[in-house]
Amino acid sequence: MKPLQGKHILVTRGKSQAHPFIEKIEEGGGVSYHTPLLDFQLNDSESHQEIIHQLHDYSWVFLTSSNGVKFFFELLRKHNVFLPQKLQFAIIGTKTNHALKSYGYQADFIPSRFQATKMVDEFFAVYPRPGNILYIRGNRSRDVLPAAFRAKGVFFQSMTVYDTLLVKDQREEILSWLKSEELDALTFTSPSTVSAFANIVQGAEINGKDLPCFCIGPTTAETARRYGFRHIFVPKQYTINEIMNQLNHYFSNERKDKMSDLTFKRHRRLRRTESMRALVRETHLRTEDLIFPIFVVEGEGVKNPVASMPGVHQVSLDYLTEEMEELVQLNIRSVIVFGVPAEKDEVGSQAYHEDGIVQKAIRQIKEEVPSLTVIADTCLCQYTDHGHCGVVRDGDIANDESLTYITQTAVSQAEAGADIIAPSNMMDGFVASIRHGLDEAGYSHIPVMSYAVKYASSFYGPFRDAAHSSPQFGDRRAYQMDPSNRLEAIREAESDVQEGADFLIVKPALSYLDIMREVKDRFNLPLVAYNVSGEYSMIKAAAQNGWVNEQEIVLEKLTSMKRAGADLIITYFAKDAAKWLKED
């Protein structure tokens, strides 16, 4: 990587002088932001005429900058003046020397160090009686040389051949660079550029005085210090090349520092031991959170395995009690009952029959295992011959008419002793209608656990095997929700809350954890995840193949539902999970 890669360097040199500097910055991989703060102009004053026409009176010309050289020769050329042969040059600075050479002249004296006082001392040591001196300067040159000449009692004449002008129209540009923090370093090659810059940024909120500030020499640096720049760098030799070296050095060090400064958080501290992990665990899966679904069928001695749901059975009432007692033993507190009737008809009348399979099952559980909370799934699809969740009129599911049957079903389930009514039919207004029906019938104390957000999901496939509830034509997409929708889920939940739901169910669970979180965050009702049949069967199948560890994967997924905001989980894994949690 180049040393100045990606670094933005402000160059304040005048137009004519900035070019080589800019080139070097770009060679180093940097980007130069050039803003000539100073401009130079030939000073062709009347009084100069007299001097340049009497150059033979002088022995030495003192030149201290390339600008001085440039404008001196420009002045001579303009007035067609030729230099007398014997005139000698005393100069300071490499650039000055170059400039002089470019006009075809050699310096006769160069001090060992490029400092004005040094120059004078060394010069007079060699030439104690130098003759008349012409000192070429700009209007902003310092008075070190004149003072020294005066002190030596030598005759000298100053000639200001150029004027330095402050350029102020870069103000906006510079302030915007500073404001957007685009600049990485500032460079100054003269005290006057420093003061020009300081003037420009005066009063600005971000004034660049915190940026590394590279000054060509000690005088420039001193000026910078006076104006409040905080990170000033001065090279050992006062040249552009040396500034470049310093810039390169500075930024490669900065890069190294950044690497060694690299700090990070040690999250693993809290994962070191199992007891440490237990200490910081955020989500806890408890057996009490689990709701067990059961399928009850007519008949006797029936314990029918559901082919697509290994481990799940349809049971007849004579097996029901022992199943329920097992739940109590395992500390599972609630059960959701699905009925598989012997007969189906157009309006699903077995759903609300006093002696329907669900009603009988509920009565039996409440009688024999009263500590269990019994939840009744309220829907028509297991009971209608067409398998839809409402009644069909002209090939359509008639919403409002269906509500009548659904409400009747809910009331009959409450009559049978259900503790909670869980309508899953997705008709509009089912919560309002059921709430009203229950209240009318004297069941205002019975809560409604609404399948508020129920998607038209292919994850229900195995359940329809278990409950014999597949639609005989079409699908459920005209009443269950489109899996692509999120905002609609909020609307569904919102209306159920308004209609008086006591619990909200999100179903399915696993592919809809995002929805669960959102519902949890927006509404303050207990939230139930329905870990549906397809989610069950996929894990069972993979586990039977030895592809996943069933226990670990089940506990992980149930925990993920709680983490997503579920307070309760309806799951066919309830008994297994309860056993595993007990072992833990």
List, by residue number, the catalytic residues: 454, 507
574 scored as a contact of ligand PBG (CB under 6 A) = no
Contacts for 267 with CB less than 8 Å, ≥ 6 apart: none
In contact, 38 and 192? CB cutoff 8 Å? yes
Cross-strand pairs, 481 = 455
Interface segment toward ligand PBG; rule CB under 6 A; list 29-37, 315-323, 376-384, 408-416: 376-384
Tokens of 307: 């082919």
We find the least distance from the C-beta atom of residue 463 to ligand PBG, in angstroms, to be 3
Please, which residue, 217 or 508, has the CB nearer to ligand PBG? 508
Residue among 25 and 427 whose Cβ is closer to ligand PBG = 427
Token pair 């399979």 is found at: 357
Binding segment toward ligand PBG, per CB under 6 A, in 72-80, 353-361, 463-471, 559-567: 463-471
What is the four-CA torsion angle of 461, 462, 463, 464, rounded to 10 degrees?
A: 60
Q: For ligand PBG, which is the closer residue by CB, 432 or 532?
A: 532
Q: Which is nearer to ligand PBG, 178 or 467 (CB)?
A: 467
Chain positions 213 to 252 lying near ligand PBG, rule: CB under 6 A, are none
Min dist. Cβ of residue 491 to ligand PBG (A): 19
CB 48, CB 23: distance < 8 Å: no
- Least distance CB 393 / ligand PBG (angstroms): 19
Choices 11-19, 99-107, 367-375, 458-466; region in contact with ligand PBG by CB under 6 A: 458-466
Interface stretch with ligand PBG, choices 11-19, 375-383, 406-414, 550-558 (CB under 6 A): 375-383
**For residues 3 and 462, which CB has a smaller minimum distance to ligand PBG in the complex?**
462
Kind plus residue range of the DSSP H or E element containing 252: helix 240-260
Q: Which of 292, 340, 339, 298 lies closest to 316 in space, CA to CA?
A: 298
Angle between helices 550-563 and 533-544 (to 10 degrees): 150
Q: Output the smallest distance, CB 424 to ligand PBG, in A.
A: 4
Separation CA 401–CA 410 (nearest Å): 15
Contact characters 278-297, ligand PBG, x per CB under 6 A: --------------------
The nearer residue to ligand PBG, 211 or 315, going by C-beta atoms, is 315
Minimal distance, residue 443 CB to ligand PBG, in Å: 21
Residue number, 38 or 466, with CB nearest to ligand PBG? 466
Q: How far is the CB of 448 from ligand PBG (least distance, A)?
A: 15
Instruction: Please select the residue that binds ligand PBG; options are 59, 248, 533, 537, rule is CB under 6 A.
Output: 533
Integer Cα distance of 192 and 198 in angstroms: 10
CB of residue 387 vs ligand PBG: minimum separation in angstroms?
9
Angle, vertex CA 76, rays to CA 72 and CA 80, nearest 5 = 170
The window from 69-77, 158-166, 233-241, 461-469 that contacts ligand PBG (CB under 6 A) reads 461-469
Stretch that binds ligand PBG, among 34-42, 266-274, 352-360, 456-464 (CB under 6 A): 456-464
**460 sits near ligand PBG (criterion: CB under 6 A):** yes
Q: What is d(CA 289, CA 97) in angstroms, rounded to the nearest whole number?
A: 90
Stretch that binds ligand PBG, among 36-44, 95-103, 459-467, 574-582 (CB under 6 A): 459-467
Place of tokens 């809350």: 497
* Residue pair 376/358 in contact by the 8 Å Cβ criterion: yes
Judged by beta carbon, residue 213 or residue 291, the one nearer ligand PBG is 291
Which DSSP letter does residue 301 get? S
Q: Which is nearer to ligand PBG, 34 or 313 (CB)?
A: 313
Nearest-approach distance from CB 361 to ligand PBG, in angstroms = 16
Q: What angle do CA 245, 248, 250 make, to 5 degrees?
A: 105
Helices (H) and strands (E) in the chain, counts: 21, 22
- C-alpha 470/C-alpha 431 separation (Å) is 24
Minimum distance from residue 464 beta carbon to ligand PBG (Å): 6
Letters for 472-501 (x = contact with ligand PBG by CB under 6 A, - = none) are ----x-------------------------
One residue of 234, 335, 379, 392 binding ligand PBG per CB under 6 A: 379
Out of 184, 289, 323, 377, which residue is the one contacting ligand PBG (CB under 6 A)? 377
Residue pointed to by tokens 């007299």: 50
| Side chain identity at residue 253, one-letter code | N
Please give the full DSSP string across 452-494, using - where no structure is assigned.
Answer: EEEB--GGGHHHHHHHT---SSS-STTTSBPTT-SHHHHHHHH
Q: Exactly one of 40, 214, 463, 573 binds ligand PBG (CB under 6 A); which one?
A: 463
**By rule CB under 6 A, what count of residues binds ligand PBG?**
12
List Cβ neighbours of 412 (8 Å cut-off, separation of 6 or more). Answer: 352, 353, 354, 356, 359
Under the criterion CB under 6 A, does residue 424 sit at the interface with ligand PBG?
yes
The 10 Å Cβ neighbour count of residue 445 is 9
How many residues comprise the chain? 584
Round to whole Å and give the CA distance between 514 and 561: 10
Contact by Cβ (8 Å): 188, 197: yes
78 vs 76: CA distance, rounded Å: 5
Residues 222/192, Cβ–Cβ less than 8 Å: no
Residue 45 corresponds to which tokens in the numbers above?
A: 């004053």
CB nearer to ligand PBG: pick between 380 and 493: 380
Q: φ, ψ for residue 336 (rounded to 5)?
A: -115, 130
Closest CB 547 distance from ligand PBG, rounded Å: 22
Minimum separation from the CB atom of position 530 to ligand PBG (A):
6
Q: What backbone phi and psi angles, to 5 degrees, belong to 294?
A: -130, 145
| CA atoms of 392 and 474, how far apart (whole Å) | 12
Residue from 37, 213, 381, 578 in contact with ligand PBG (CB under 6 A): 381
Q: Nearer to ligand PBG by C-beta: 93 or 390? A: 390
Binding site for ligand PBG (CB under 6 A): 377, 379, 381, 389, 424, 460, 463-464, 469, 476, 532-533
